[in-house]
Amino acid sequence: MPTINVQMFEGRTLEQKRAFVKAITEAACTTLGSSPESVDVIITDVKKDNWATGGVLWTDKK
């Protein structure tokens, strides 16, 4: 049973998340031979002030 953890910036709509988890689940089933019922996708919405790349918070990027 694959569990897929996704961290992304907050702000996606519910419709976008539905489409995303459907696509991720389909890819896991095709690639791993899993059934859709065995695939878990956990989305963690992260604020830009809680994420940094290269030592710079995303809220500070211009």
Task: Indicate which residue of 2, 12, 29, 58 is catalytic.
Answer: 2
Q: Per the structure block, which two tokens stand in for 55? A: 């030592």
Distance (Å, whole) CA 18 – CA 7:
15
- Kindly state the DSSP code that residue 50 receives in the 8-state scheme: G
2 is an active site residue: yes
* Helix H or strand E encompassing 42: strand 40-46
Catalytic residues: 2
